[in-house]
Chain A
Amino acid sequence: MNAIEAKGLTKQFKERTAVDSLNVSVKKGELFALLGQNGAGKSTTIRMLCGLLAPTAGDAYICGHSVTKEPLLAKQVTNVSPQETAVAAKLSVQENLELIARLYGDDKKTAREKAEKMMDAFHLTDRRKDRAKNLSGGWQRRLSIAMALITEPEVLFLDEPTLGLDVRARRDLWKHIEELKGRITVVLTTHYLEEAAALSDRLMIMDKGRCQAEGTLAEILEKTGKASLEEAFLSLTEEVYE
């Protein structure tokens, strides 16, 4: 069974089709990068897979659970680190982590133990009592990803996880993401093509709500006949000016 299976997934906003009959499969433990220009339909796809947006047509299955018919079961095995920093501003680092663990059903004791592990893994222990709003952007992003991982999801959506981070923070985060490979299915959206090339097992390039290419980096380069992902990306998402 695939971790993610989307069948004819479509989202229409009045006249505009944001995602058009998308079919995609992601294997368990795979790191799958979703690429595309602004407005290509990446975020809409992720929002439908997470249960934040109801599809107009089609369905998607997370570990076999339909996001439209069994949303709570699908959500139990999913977590997300949204594009913008998604932390409770007035709660401390530790409180933020414990909150998310408890929202997924952990009791207080288990939530505390998991929070300790996450703070340790993400070097947040020294900042445990700091309120989230007082952390820098990089630390908030780190906390946001720790909050996504504390529930031990089977499928993790990382929406632009390194946006706005400095080089060192970005490299640190890459290391964390790479460590997840094989254990957790990760769907990554990013505008940094070198990031996608370095981290992902497979990629999908979207344009105008449709899948333009899908496969490993080598497969995409072969299909487009280009030497780099950037060139392949540009050729697949070419603007047509009339």
Chain B
Amino acid sequence: MKWLAFASRNFKEMTRDLLTLIFGIALPVVLIVMFSLISSNIGAMTNPSFMISNLAPGIAVFSMSFVTLFLGLLVAGDRSSAFLARILVSPMKGIDYILGYSLPLVPLALVQALACIVTAVCFGLKLSANLLFGLVALIPVSLLYISMGLLFGSVCSDKQVGGLASILINLAAWTSGAWFPVSVVGGVYETICNLLPFGHAVSLVQGVMQGSPLNFGHLIWVLGYAAALSALAIFFFKKKTRP
């Protein structure tokens, strides 16, 4: 269980950082509160994305962009320090590194999502078993964002990760449909959005939380991207750490 010891270290390194707690938990909660208040003050819903049943899963998925940032910073930080050299000298296998880096982010992502849902319930989201299923649907979504974090951390320096994660956060915001339906723009833009995984992630969780049957199409897009990005991350991690 070497990976468990490594995962425990990684979890502690991330959660002992105030930035992680602020961005991970507080920011999504603030976003839900803010958009719920805006939505209730303007009365008529001009944007269906701001309906609490769409907003809560949308923000839960969007907030996972920060999971990418945290993991990217951790992996890149380790790579730039002598600490990783020490770890690489240990008899850990490749799978221990993957699990050790990835799994601590799953509970972190779920706590983040739970905070979103609880806040949304306070602002009118109907309490039902579907919310619990929605949390389960967020697990593959968290794997998608974890795979991106692994890739960013494996390829970029710790300074570059911040910039790249900002681009990702924007890309996820603009193409996921969490803030506005991408069909409103339509055309090539909508096609590009559909080729990217972010919209599929939001639609997957929104559907489950609203009681629709699991959409395997969206799930395959999300898991397919997660698998491909993880494979790339493993390739680059190996290449960069054992030249």
CB of A50, distance to nearest CB on chain B (Å):
5
Contact, CB under 8 Å: A52 / B88? yes
Residues of A within 8 A of B87 (CB): 103
- The complex places the Cα of A85 from the Cα of B86 at a distance, in Å, of 10
Given contacts A78-B89, A91-B9, contact A86 B242 (CB under 8 A): no
Give chain A residues whose Cβ lies under 8 Å from the Cβ of B8: 99
Which residues from chain A contact B241 at a C-beta distance below 8 Å?
52
Known: A54-B243, A105-B2. A88 touches B91 (CB 8 A): no
Listed residue (B4, B87, B90, B241) with the most chain A CB atoms within 10 angstroms of its CB? B90
Most chain-A CB neighbours within 10 Å: which of B81, B89, B241? B89
**A71-86: contact bitstring with B at CB < 8 Å (1 yes, 0 no)?**
0110110111011111
Q: Could you tell me the dominant secondary structure of chain B's interface residues?
A: helix
* Neighbouring B residues of A147 by C-beta, 8 Å: 86
B159, CB-defined interface residue at 8 Å: no
Contact B83 A103 (CB under 8 A): no
Decide: A75 near B90, CB < 8 A? Known: A91-B9, A91-B12. yes
Q: Does A100 contact B (CB under 8 A)?
A: yes
Please state if A103 and B92 are interface contacts (CB–CB under 8 Å): yes
Q: How many residues of A contact B (CB 8 A)?
A: 32
Judged by a CB distance under 8 angstroms, whether A104 is at the interface is: yes
CB <8 Å contact, A86 and B82: yes
Task: Closest A residue to B88 by CB, please name it.
Answer: A52
Let me know if B85 is at the binding interface, CB within 8 A: yes
B228 contacts partner chain A, Cβ-Cβ < 8 Å: no
B63 CB, min distance to chain A CBs, angstroms: 23
Closest chain A CB from B185 CB (angstroms): 43
**Are A103 and B243 interface neighbours, CB within 8 A?**
no
In the bound complex, what is the Cα–Cα distance between A86 and B83 (angstroms)? 4
* Complex interface bits, A34-58 against B, C-beta within 8 A gives 1, otherwise 0: 0000000000000000111110000
Instruction: Say yes or no: B91 contacts A86, CB within 8 Å.
Output: no
B6 contacts chain A at the CB level, 8 A cutoff = yes
Chain A positions within 8 Å of B5 at CB level:
98-99, 102-103
Interface contact A91-B85, CB-CB below 8 Å: no
The verdict on A90 contacting chain B, using a C-beta distance below 8 Å, is yes
List of B residues within 8 angstroms of A86 by Cβ: 81-83, 85-86
Central interface residue in A50, A91, A103, A147, by most chain B CB within 10 Å: A103
Given the known interface contacts A54-B243, A80-B85, the answer about A103 and B2 at a Cβ–Cβ threshold of 8 Å is yes
Q: How many angstroms between the C-alpha atoms of A148 and B8 in the bound complex? A: 20
The chain B residue with its CB closest to the CB of A13 is B243
Q: Which chain A positions have C-beta within 8 A of B93?
A: 72
Q: Is A207 an interface residue (CB 8 A)?
A: no
Q: Pick the contact of A104: B13, B91, B242 (CB < 8 A).
A: B91
**When the two chains form the complex, which single residue of A78, A84, A99, A105 contacts B9, counting CB atoms closer than 8 Å?**
A99
Is B91 within 8 A of A75, CB to CB? yes
A104–B83 touching, CB < 8 Å: no
Cβ-closest chain B residue relative to A102? B5
* Complex contacts, B88 vs chain A, CB 8 Å: 51-52
A102–B5 alpha-carbon span in the complex (Å): 6
Q: How far is the CB of B239 from chain A (nearest CB, A)?
A: 11
Cβ-defined contact, B89 with A52, below 8 A? yes
Closest to A11 in B: B243
Beyond the given pairs A52-B241, A82-B85, 12 more chain A to chain B contacts, judged by CB atoms under 8 angstroms and listed by A's residue number, are A78-B89, A79-B89, A80-B89, A86-B81, A87-B83, A90-B12, A90-B13, A90-B17, A91-B13, A102-B5, A103-B87, A103-B92
User: Which are the 3 A-B pairs with shortest beta-carbon distances?
Assistant: A102-B5, A86-B82, A84-B82
- Report which B residues bind A (CB closer than 8 A): 1-2, 4-6, 8-9, 12-13, 16-17, 81-83, 85-93, 241-243
Q: Which residues of A contact B (CB under 8 A)?
A: 50-54, 72-73, 75-76, 78-80, 82-91, 95, 98-100, 102-105, 147-148
Q: What are some 20 contacts across the A-B interface (CB < 8 A)?
A: A51-B88, A51-B89, A52-B88, A54-B242, A80-B86, A82-B85, A83-B82, A84-B81, A84-B82, A85-B82, A86-B82, A86-B83, A86-B86, A87-B83, A89-B13, A90-B13, A102-B1, A102-B2, A104-B91, A147-B86
